[in-house]
Structure formats: C-alpha cells, structure tokens
Amino acid sequence: MSKIKFMRSDLIDEAKEVVQHRTEKEKDTLHETPGIKMKEDRNGRVHITHIDVDESGAESIGKKKGTYITLTVPTLTVEDAQGFQELNQQLISSLKDIHQALMLTDQSKILVIGLGNRTITPDAIGPVAIDRFHEAIFSSPIEFGQVVYYAPGVTGQTGLETGEFVRAISERVKPDLIIVIDALAARNQDRLCKSLQITNTGIHPGSGVGNSRNEISFESLGVPVTAIGVPMVVDAPVLVVEAIETVFKVISSQIGETTKPSSALSVGPWLRSTDEPINVDAIKPIFGEWTAWSSEELHALLDEVLPPRHQQLFVTPKESDAWVIMHADLIQTGILNWLQDDVFGSISP
C-alpha cells in the first residue's frame, strides 16, 4: 500500500512555503518566497489572500502557475446571515478581478460544472449549486444558452472519468469560460466551511482526499477554467496532531504563568492560552524529547503507527448538510450576480 500523505490541502495559503512566507512578512524581514507574490487584505469581516504563482513558485510549492484568491470569515457560522452576505459581495468582486484579462462580453458563453457526489453530504456542494442554478435561471435576465449548467456526477457513479465528461460537454457547448465548483480538503480544522478559494488554474477532482482524477484545466480542455471550492473535510490524523500541539501549548503556558510572581495575586481561574509559543524546556521533563518535534515529524510518526483504516479517515463538521446548502446558495448567487452585472450587463431584464 502506498504511503498516505498527511498535511494535504487544496488551499494554497496552507502550503508550507506560503505559511513561512506570511510569517516572515509579519516579522518585517526582507525574505520573499521565490515565485510567489502574496497580498493580504481585509474587507469587513472577510480576510482576503491574493496569491500569484509563476513557474518557479509552482515548482517550489507543488501548485500550478496562476492566481489564487482565498476568502475567509474566521467567525462564520451557518446562522450568520451577515457573514455570508459579506462573503458573497467579496466573491463577486473576486470573480471580476480574476477574469479581467479574459475580456468576456455579453456574447460570451459560460459553462458551469458542479463536481462531486450528491449522495455524500460533504462532497455535494457542486451538484447542489447546480440545482440552485436551475431554480434561479427562470427569473434571470440571462438568455437561454448563454450559461449552461451541469453536474456530471463522479466516476464511481457513471463509470466515466469526470474530466472526459467535462471535455465532451465543452466540445458540444464551446464555452468561452468554464467555472467548476467543488468541495476541497483543508489542513486546519478551523478553515472548514469558513473559506472560499477561487483560482484560474483549474482543478484535479478528488485530489484533496487522495483520489485524484484527470485534470480539468485550460491545458487539458483548451478553454479557460476557473475553480471555486469550499474546504469541507480534513484528515482525521491532522486533528490528532493539532490536539497534541494544543496540549503542549496549554501546559507550557500554564507552567510559564505559575512561575510569574503575579500569579500569586490571581483571585480567579487561570485563563489558558494556545497562542503563545511552546516552551520546550518547560514541558520536556513531562513529555520527553518529542515535544521538540515539528508537525511534519508528528505526522510521520502517525504514518508509522496508525493502521491503514485510520489513515484514510476524513472529518467534516456535524452541520455539514446546512453548510453545503448555504455555500451552494452563496456560490450560485455570486456567480449569477457577477455574470449579470459584469459580463451580461447590456442585457435588460
């Protein structure tokens, strides 16, 4: 059996080199990751990460050359109407930004593909979004045939490679742009269902869960491809490593607090912190040498000791059904509003 690669993620801003790049910038150093240009901004509650990757950057981080825009609302919940509204407005703005070079017109034809398996809840965002498009098209001023929506299912359902399915539809429709909607995998549980990634590099269906299919991209189809994804799952072993690191941080913080003279004056319960760096020397007598191990080394340990059935487990939030509906509505509304306002703006209702 091949080795399972923990720490996998479809989100570019979770790539190790990008994280290091961000950390160095926050420390006000002059370090720049070769081939990566990153700009971070904030609009209301939405955190925006805009990353451009060239050939050298693509080689160093294992991501394709192109533009990646990640939108995150860290405090987003399924009941947070305001948060979804702010995310929707920023999605429209990001779609306009990433498609400027295409020079789309009111004569352009758009193919929207919803990837995923509608019978598996965390993988159903694509098909559910397509359902929403079919419901909305009757009240839309966009003319019939200008935008085509389709959910091809997955290879296990149809027996056909998803990429070949999309190729056949593309050859029939002859679109000027293909938009692909899919669920993604994250490396950090805090990112689940709270982020959107928009990229003009296309997509590898199933790559986040180690089941990569044929690429859907400009290189494979000859048509520009924009991928919109929502992180819905995380590797179960990743949660184990996060739990271990959190325990180290909390106990390190507690030891540091009890050694301060001010702790004798405390009249309330100690407020733990997981943001402070780990004091390895303080916790090494308790846990031993492995307190100094990196996240990658802890994952390597899990790779050795966990049985294969545990290595293939993925975790999704318990409200994943509600998250899928909310994000499907969000993506459908954002795409239609962008098309009506920016691409087909000359069409009257």
Binning pLDDT at 50, 70 and 90, where does residue 271 land? very low
Looking at residue 109, what is its pLDDT?
Answer: 94
Q: Whole-angstrom Cα distance, residue 205 to residue 130? A: 17
Contacts of 94 (CB under 8 A, 6+ apart): 48, 69, 71, 198
Higher pLDDT pick, 241 / 6: 241
Binning pLDDT at 50, 70 and 90, where does residue 346 land? very low
* Residue of 38, 317, 287, 67 whose CA lies nearest to 186: 317
Question: Does the pTM of the predicted model rise above 0.75?
Answer: yes
Binning pLDDT at 50, 70 and 90, where does residue 5 land? very low
Looking at residue 32, what is its pLDDT?
Answer: 56
- Read off the tokens for 240: 């184990």
The mean pLDDT of 3-28, rounded to a whole number, is: 52
Q: Would the pLDDT of 1 be above 60? A: no
Looking at residue 205, what is its pLDDT?
Answer: 66
Task: Read off φ and ψ for residue 231, nearest 5 degrees.
Answer: -70, 120
| Three-state SS sequence of 166-201 | HHHHHHHHCCCEEEEEEEEEECCHHHCCCEEEEECC
Q: Whole-angstrom Cα distance, residue 201 to residue 224? A: 8
Q: Would the pLDDT of 131 be above 90? A: yes
Q: Which amino acid is at 264?
A: A
Q: Would the pLDDT of 9 be above 90? A: no
Q: Would the pLDDT of 159 be above 80? A: no
Q: How many CB atoms lie within 10 A of CB 165?
A: 20
Report the share of the chain in percent with pLDDT over 70: 74
Looking at residue 30, what is its pLDDT?
Answer: 32
